[in-house]
Amino acid sequence: MKNAVMVRVEKLGEGPYASVICYPKPTRAELRKRLRELQKLDVKAVEFGGEKQFSSLSVLGKGCVGIVTKAYRNSEKIALKIRRVDADRTRMQVEARMLEKANAAKVGPRLLGVSKNFLLMQFVDGVLLPSWLDKRVGKALVRRVLRDVLEQCWRLDTVGLDHGELSHALKHIIIDKNDKPFIVDFETASLTRRPSNVTSVCQFIFLSSTVAEKVSKKLDEIDKEAIVGALRRYKNERTRGNFDFVMGVCGLQTM
């Protein structure tokens, strides 16, 4: 990782920074508009630092919709999601509304602000689930973290918010320095789709993915057939009892 570079908002129109703020093609008018938006949101500076390399800079993440960087709102460190100019969304407000709903269920990084092109949220200082599993984390801790992930998914199911990308959540679960898991990116979330957070995340964590392979090495024998059966039961009838049964067959029940 390169050294972090801190850039004040007034300087973001310069050189390589402009192409992050207006990725992939900065124009003077769009840039001016976006810098004004950042000032209105009280963002004072952007910090280029993180795991993802982005031309000569580094950022926290880069996807189809946005680029995520660290930033400062006054002296508070936050995460800033910048809408790509070529994104298939015209504004960030829908994602913000979904994140707000998740927050009400105590899920996701806290929403701190939004405008057409930016979403401000709590900065989660941590690593993505696959890399976290590669660390020398013991069985008890893995179970505690996965139990928390499933509980969060249960709460999302209960409030009727479907995340939409949890069956392939390689980049959507961050574990912070206190081993607290955070589900991120509510951009494809929906309040009208039938919620399938618990079933999708179990599929991802226990049944079929590179993460499932890592998890099965960390935990005791996993009975995949029993998990499939428990998920089917939960899917048919979303009750706490059936959810606890899923937790049980996944080996995550509290002792």
Residues that bind ligand ATP (CB under 6 A): 60-61, 63-66, 68, 79, 81, 109, 121-124, 128, 171, 174, 184-185, 187
Give the integer Cα–Cα distance in Å for 126 and 147. 18
Amino acid 81 reads K
Q: Which does 109 bind (CB under 5 to 8 A by kind): Mg ion, ligand ATP, none?
A: ligand ATP
Alpha helices by DSSP H, the chain: 15-21, 28-40, 93-104, 129-134, 139-159, 197-202, 210-218, 224-236, 240-249
- The verdict on 95 binding Mg ion (CB under 5 A) reads no
Give the residue with the Cβ less far from ligand ATP, 11 or 77. Answer: 77
User: Which of 182, 187, 199, 249 touches Mg ion by CB under 5 A?
Assistant: 187
Q: How far is the CB of 78 from ligand ATP (least distance, A)?
A: 8
Cβ of residue 83: shortest distance to Mg ion, in angstroms?
11
| Closest residue by beta carbon to ligand ATP | 63
Contact 130, 86 (CB under 8 A): no
Rounded CA separation 180/123 (Å) = 13
Q: Give the one entry of Mg ion, ligand ATP, none that residue 68 binds, where binding means its C-beta sits below a cut-off of 5 to 8 angstroms depending on kind.
A: ligand ATP
Structure tokens at 234: 């939960």
d(CA 34, CA 27): 11
Piece in contact with Mg ion (CB under 5 A), picked from 57-65, 120-128, 156-164, 191-199 = 57-65
Binding site residues, Mg ion, CB under 5 A: 63, 185, 187
